[in-house]
Amino acid sequence: MKLDINGRAQEVDADPATPLLYVLREDLKLNGARFGCGLGQCGACTVLADGDAIFSCITPISVLAGRRITTLEGLGTLDKPGPMQRAFIELQAAQCGYCIPGMMMRAQALLERKPAASEAEIRSALQPNLCRCGTHIRIVRAALRAGELMRGKS
Amino acid sequence: MVNIPSVRWTAAGARAKKALLSGLRLFARVALAGGLIVLAGFSGCATRSALLPLEQPQRFPREQVTKGAELAHLGNCLGCHTTEGGKPYAGGTPIKTPFGTIYGTNITPDPDTGIGRWPLVAFSRAMREGVDREGRHLYPAFPYDHFTKVTDDDIAALYAFLMTREPVRQENRANRVPVPRAAVGLWKSRYFTPGVYQPDAARSAEWNRGAYLVQGLGHCGACHTPRNKLGAEEKDAAFAGGEVEGWHAPALNASSPSPVPWAADTLQSYLRRGIAEQHTVSAGPMQEVTHDLSHVSDEALRAIATYVVSLDTRSEEQRRRHAEAALERARKVKAIQGNAVYDGACADCHNRGRAEEGGALELPLGTALTIPTPRNLAYIIRDGIVPPEGERGSWMPAFAGMLTDEQLTDLLNYLRALSGEPAWPDVAREVRNISRGDQ
């Protein structure tokens, strides 16, 4: 089947019940989304479908035909990082970094809808994502900063 | 230690008569609209006398406050009297009813915005008769039709508990209900029977204790009993299943939808833990109830479970046959494959068996599949099951954003078929209504 990933149509040959995460990492070599728990409980695998944050580890590809999927790679490149990535780099928001792609994607989903989201709204939106290092304070600051960058502040 | 000032009743006869007349005029309009013609029991329609406010702080024995704390959990007072993220018991919670939105009030001891100036008799009258300190009828969203059964001792303990909470200065929000308070007086004369719980001598002490808690402070029927057009519980359909905040509250009587009939032990454990592996995980409005009950004594939970299970009047033989059929169906479902959404999104946890880490409820046993409406299941799939902030509890991820309305409809129909029950009518319309945010 065909999947629209980061604006590109990708032909995928996999069982329709296969979780999107496996297709991303194994078939398409898009390794931004992480495998954490495989049960939708940690958020490391978060990507966007039509702008909504979803757990790619429990989303069978069969439901994604015609949907616009965005992964971490879709937010920018090494040479040209997007506002979310710039904010996380600027504030050095990663400790071990394993949860960070998921955090960025979930924050992105919120800020695309509401670039001026408050700290409380960011905290509430990020609830489903776990960080075992305890880097939450910097993650929240980075998400707030990303909102500023998206609103054109330098 | 207990120091409650004496209270006098203000006698304002003329004012009361005037209020009665205006109350009746207002009622006439409402009665016509509602088609209620019975004009029985004029007494009680009028506004009641105000009770003099307290002027001094009070002290209470510690044991009484402790007992009151447990009672507050049994009554799920926080459910309506605390907003998400708000101060405990400070009110402001919107309660949507078919008659408009009512806001839970501030029941902290703040003297100006809470109940700090309410003497015990005023608190007791509110609980037992649904009248506030100033003498106005309370809307029956405050379940005084249940609280009237509570004993003097328990009311005094609950009062002691509330009056020793942190006072919070927070004005009550104005209700948005087009029904005038005076009309509530007539509603009461028709549907409200005051009176403390009377034990049934033919039953055990434990059963009676359970009945007292369930019918009284626990006000389980407020959700689990269907209501008539005027919002009163249908007494002859007690515990036959009701609606609350868009959710279906399953029947607790012989028409219980639980594929495996409940046993008292299992129910007792469910009420504390919010999970019963062959029945359900508490979700929606029940979630805060089980969180509350996790703080309650085993003795109280045992009594509640004993009474509730006794409401299912089917024979042991019937119950056993139901259970066997359900367990057999669950065994078979694990072997079924072919629905890509179920196989990809649900099976990994739900086919794993509860004993395994991450293992979830086996779905053909879930009550959400067998109740008369797909709404509960749709809410659970969309929003997942998430414990209240900072609390422990069962977890299921939210699938909002993953499934389109059509895909959710297909999944609901597929899950319903797994339960062996006839298809739900018009699932697509229910899903559309839910995604529009219509509760």
CATH of the domain at A27: 3.10.20.30
Chain B residues touching residue A15 (CB < 8 angstroms): 340
Domain count for chain A = 2
User: Beta A2-5 vs A68-70: how paired, if at all?
Assistant: parallel
Interface contact A58, partner B, CB < 8 A: yes
Question: What is the domain extent for residue A90?
Answer: 83-150
CB atoms within 10 A of CB B25: 11
Query: Tens digit of pLDDT for each residue in B378-398?
Result: 999 999 999 877 788 888 999
Question: Rounded distance, CA B437 to CA B96, Å?
Answer: 13
Residue the block writes with tokens 């009743």: B9
Burial of B80 (0-12, 13-18, 19+ CB in 10 A): buried
Q: Are residues A40 and A103 in the same domain?
A: no
Helix then strand then coil, % of chain B, to nearest 5: 45, 5, 50
Chain A residues touching residue B359 (CB < 8 angstroms): none
Tokens of B28: 């006439």
CA angle B312, B317, B323 (to 5 degrees): 75
Instruction: Delimit the domains of chain B by residue range.
Output: 13-191, 208-435
Q: Are residues A58 and A88 in the same domain?
A: no
Q: Are residues A96 and A55 in the same domain?
A: no
Average pLDDT, integer, range A60-75: 96
Q: Which residues of B touch A (CB under 8 A)?
A: 340-341, 343-345, 348-349, 358, 386, 389, 395-404, 407
Give the model's pLDDT for residue B333.
Answer: 81
Q: Are residues A87 and A47 in the same domain?
A: no
A127/B341 Cβ within 8 A = no
Give the model's pLDDT for residue B13.
Answer: 39
Q: What residue ranges of chain B have pLDDT lower than 70?
A: 1-46, 355, 438-439
Q: Are residues A47 and A108 in the same domain?
A: no
A16/B402 Cβ within 8 A = no
Which of these three, A74, A96, A111, is where a domain ends? A74
Q: Are residues A87 and A123 in the same domain?
A: yes
Query: Tens digit of pLDDT for each residue in B332-363?
Result: 887 777 788 898 899 888 888 776 777 788 88
Which of these three, A49, A74, A99, is where a domain ends? A74
CA angle B353, B356, B357 (to 5 degrees): 130
Question: Rounded distance, CA A111 to CA A26, Å?
Answer: 29
Q: Are residues A54 and A99 in the same domain?
A: no
Which of these three, A56, A74, A92, is where a domain ends? A74
Average pLDDT, integer, range A20-44: 96
- Please list the alpha-helical segments (H only) found in B263-404: 264-273, 285-293, 298-310, 316-333, 340-341, 347-350, 367-370, 375-383
Chain A residues touching residue B387 (CB < 8 angstroms): none
Question: Rounded distance, CA B286 to CA B224, Å?
Answer: 11
Angstroms from A128 CA to nearest CA on chain B: 8
Question: Rounded distance, CA B220 to CA B205, Å?
Answer: 20
**Alpha carbon of B64 to those of B111, B115, B216, B354: distances in Å?**
22, 18, 19, 41
Interface contact A49, partner B, CB < 8 A: yes
A39/B358 Cβ within 8 A = yes
Chain A residues touching residue B404 (CB < 8 angstroms): 63
Closest residue of B to A38, CA-based? B348
Chain A residues touching residue B381 (CB < 8 angstroms): none
**What values do phi and psi take at B6, rounded to 5?**
-70, 155
Q: Are residues A6 and A66 in the same domain?
A: yes
Average pLDDT, integer, range A107-128: 96
As for the ipTM of the complex, it is: 0.90
Question: Considering CB atoms only, which of B341, B397, B404 is closest to A55?
Answer: B397
Q: Are residues A9 and A67 in the same domain?
A: yes
Q: Are residues A104 and A146 in the same domain?
A: yes
Q: Are residues A65 and A101 in the same domain?
A: no
B345/A49 Cβ within 8 A = no
